[in-house]
C-alpha cells in the first residue's frame, strides 16, 4: 500500500502494478515526462520510519571529517539549494524479462519496466555538506545510513539500509534532497531527506537519511557485497560492481495499428550518467532498424521521448524492438548478461502488438470527414 507522509493511504488506482510492499508504475499512453509523485514506483526493504522533521538531524561523522557535525532541516535549507530533473531506477528494473524474454527467470521482485521514475529533486549538493563538515583530503567514501527499521532476513540482522558511495560520486552530482516535484518528500520516498545519486543504481539513493559516515578506508555493507552486485558464473572483481545504470528504451504507445494506415509509435529512452544519442526501432522483430526522432528534453540520467511513424504491411502479431545508444557510446545488446539476482536487464525489449487487417473503406467515401453543415 502506498502512503502519503501522514501515513494516509494513497489510491494509486490503475497506475501501479503491485509486488508485495513494492509498486511499479504501469506504462500507458498517459505517463507524462515527469512522473507524478503519487505514481512513482516504491521499493522499501523494511518499514518507513516516522521521523519528526523538527527534531530530525543529519549526523556527519567518521575519520574523513575533522569532527562530528549535526544538521537540522533548516540548516540544510540555509545552503544554496539546487533543483534538477533526474531518473531514479531500481537495479532490478526489468527483472521479469530475464524470464519472459531470455528464458532464465531470476528471483526477486518481478519488475516489468516500471521500476523507474523521473522527478525534479530539490536539495543541497552532498559536496557542500561534506566540505562544510570539514572533509579531509584522504576521505575515500561516504556511507549514508537510512533511519528505516533494520533489515532482518532469514533470522539474520543486516542492520540499517546503507551502501558505500565512493568519494568521487559524492563530490560530483549527488544531492541531499528534501523535495520531489516541488513538494516535501512523501513518506515512501524518504521524508524528510534522502540522497539522490543520479544515474546510479537506485539503492545508492538512500531514503530517510540519518547519517553520513565519511571514512578514509573502504567499508562495505551487505548492500554492495551480498546484494546489488553481480553474482554467478563469470562475475568477479570490478566487473561485478554495480554503479552506473545501462541504457534502456521502451515503447509506450502503439496506437491501434492497422494494415496500410500510419501509426505513430512513441516511447522513451534513458541511460545512467549519459544523454541518449540515438533510438532505433525495428518493426520486424529485429531484422531491420530505423532511427526514431527524439522529442523534448534530453538530460543526462533522465529520459527522452522518441517517436517513429509506422505503416504496417501485415496483419497479426508483430514484434517491435527498440534499442538506445547513449552519449558514452553504449548500445543496448540483444541479450542481457545473465546473473543470479537478475540485475541490469538492459537488452533491447521486444514488444508484441497485434495489427488489424485493413478496414475496407465504404464505396464512395472520400476518407475525409463530411463538412459540418
Ligand atoms: N533507507 C532506504 N533507502 C532506500 C531503500 C530502502 O529500502 N531503505 N530502497 C532503495 C532502493 S532498492 C531503491 S530502487 C530506491 C527506491 O526509491 P523510491 O522508493 O523512492 O522509488 O530507494 C533506495 N533507497
Ligand atoms: Mo532498488
> Are 183 and 252 found together in one domain?
no
Nearest-atom index, ligand 1, CA of 42: 19
> Are 268 and 216 found together in one domain?
no
Domain count, the chain: 2
- For residue 314, report the distance from its CA to the centre of ligand 1, in Å: 44
Which ligand number lies closest to the CA of residue 206? Answer: 1
Nearest-atom index, ligand 1, CA of 43: 19
> Are 297 and 208 found together in one domain?
no
Domain span at 194: 2-228
Q: Is residue 158 part of a domain?
A: yes
Distance CA 281, CA 31 (A): 20
Beta bridge partners of 186: none
> Are 28 and 76 found together in one domain?
yes
Which of the listed residues 205, 227, 344 should we mutate to test ligand 1's pocket, taking the one with most ligand atoms within 8 A of CB?
Answer: 205
Q: Is residue 239 part of a domain?
A: no
> Are 85 and 211 found together in one domain?
yes
Residue with cell 555538506: 129
Domain end (from 174, 193, 228): 228
- For residue 90, report the distance from its CA to the centre of ligand 2, in Å: 4
- Per-residue pLDDT tens, the chain, 373 aa: give them: 455 555 566 555 678 888 888 999 987 767 799 999 989 999 999 999 999 999 999 999 999 999 999 999 999 999 999 999 999 999 999 999 999 999 999 999 999 999 999 999 999 999 999 999 999 999 999 999 999 999 999 999 999 999 999 999 999 999 999 999 999 999 999 999 999 999 999 999 999 999 999 999 999 999 999 999 999 999 999 999 999 999 999 999 888 899 999 999 999 999 999 999 999 999 999 999 999 999 989 999 999 999 999 999 999 999 999 999 999 999 999 999 999 999 999 999 999 999 999 876 655 444 444 444 4
Which of the listed residues 37, 94, 202 should we mutate to test ligand 1's pocket, taking the one with most ligand atoms within 8 A of CB?
Answer: 202
* Residue 205 CB less than 6 A away from ligand 1: yes
State if pTM tops 0.85.
Answer: yes
Q: Is residue 236 part of a domain?
A: no
* Residue 88 CB less than 6 A away from ligand 1: yes
Cell of 73: 532541516
| Other Cβ atoms within 10 Å of 167 Cβ, number | 20
Q: Is residue 57 part of a domain?
A: yes
Nearest-atom index, ligand 1, CA of 195: 24
* Residue 90 CB less than 6 A away from ligand 1: yes
Distance CA 16, CA 30 (A): 13
Q: Is the dihedral of CA 193, 197, 202, 205 positive or negative?
A: negative
- For residue 40, report the distance from its CA to the centre of ligand 2, in Å: 13
> Are 257 and 204 found together in one domain?
no
Domain end (from 196, 228, 260): 228
> Are 166 and 71 found together in one domain?
yes
Amino acid at each position: 500500500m502506498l502512503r502519503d507522509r501522514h501515513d494516509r493511504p494513497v489510491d494509486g488506482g490503475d497506475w501501479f502494478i503491485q509486488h508485495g510492499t513494492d509498486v511499479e508504475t504501469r506504462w500507458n499512453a498517459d505517463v507524462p515526462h515527469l512522473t507524478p509523485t503519487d505514481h512513482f514506483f516504491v521499493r522499501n526493504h523494511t518499514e518507513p520510519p516516522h521521523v519528526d522533521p523538527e527534531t530530525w538531524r543529519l549526523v556527519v561523522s567518521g575519520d574523513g571529517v575533522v569532527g562530528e557535525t549535526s544538521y537540522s532541516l533548516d540548516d540544510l535549507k540555509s545552503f544554496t539549494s539546487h533543483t534538477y530533473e533526474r531518473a531514479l531506477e531500481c537495479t532490478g528494473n526489468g527483472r521479469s524479462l530475464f524470464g519472459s524474454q531470455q528464458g532464465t527467470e531470476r528471483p526477486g521482485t518481478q519488475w516489468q519496466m516500471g521500476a523507474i521514475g523521473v522527478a525534479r529533486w530539490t536539495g543541497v549538493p552532498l559536496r557542500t555538506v561534506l566540505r562544510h563538515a570539514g572533509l579531509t583530503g584522504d576521505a575515500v567514501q561516504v556511507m549514508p545510513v537510512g533511519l528505516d527499521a533494520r533489515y532482518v532476513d532469514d533470522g539474520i540482522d543486516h542492520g540499517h539500509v546503507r551502501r558505500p558511495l565512493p568519494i568521487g560520486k559524492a563530490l560530483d552530482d549527488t544531492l541531499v534532497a528534501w523535495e520531489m516535484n516541488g513538494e516535501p518528500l512523501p513518506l515512501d520516498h524518504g521524508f524528510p531527506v534522502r540522497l539522490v545519486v543520479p544515474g546510479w543504481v537506485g539503492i545508492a539513493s538512500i531514503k530517510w537519511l540519518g547519517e553520513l559516515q565519511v571514512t578514509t578506508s573502504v567499508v562495505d555493507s551487505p548492500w554492495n557485497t551480498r546484494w546489488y552486485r553481480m553474482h554467478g558464473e563469470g562475475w568477479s572483481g570490478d566487473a561485478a560492481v554495480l554503479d552506473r545504470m545501462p541504457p534502456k528504451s521502451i515503447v509506450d504507445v502503439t496506437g491501434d495499428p492497422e494494415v496500410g494506415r500510419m501509426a505513430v509509435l512513441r516511447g522513451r529512452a534513458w541511460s545512467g550518467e549519459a544523454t541518449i544519442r540515438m533510438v532505433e526501432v525495428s518493426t520486424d522483430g529485429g531484422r531491420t532498424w530505423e532511427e526514431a526522432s527524439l522529442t523534448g528534453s534530453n538530460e543526462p540520467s533522465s529520459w527522452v521521448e522518441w517517436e517513429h511513424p509506422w505503416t504496417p504491411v501485415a496483419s497479426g502479431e508483430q514484434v517491435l524492438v527498440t534499442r538506445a545508444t547513449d552519449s558514452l557510446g553504449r548500445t543496448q545488446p540483444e541479450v542481457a548478461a545473465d546473473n543470479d539476482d537478475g540485475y541490469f536487464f538492459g537488452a533491447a525489449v521486444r514488444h508484441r502488438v497485434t495489427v488489424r487487417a485493413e478496414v475496407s473503406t465504404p464505396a464512395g467515401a472520400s476518407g475525409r470527414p463530411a463538412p459540418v453543415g
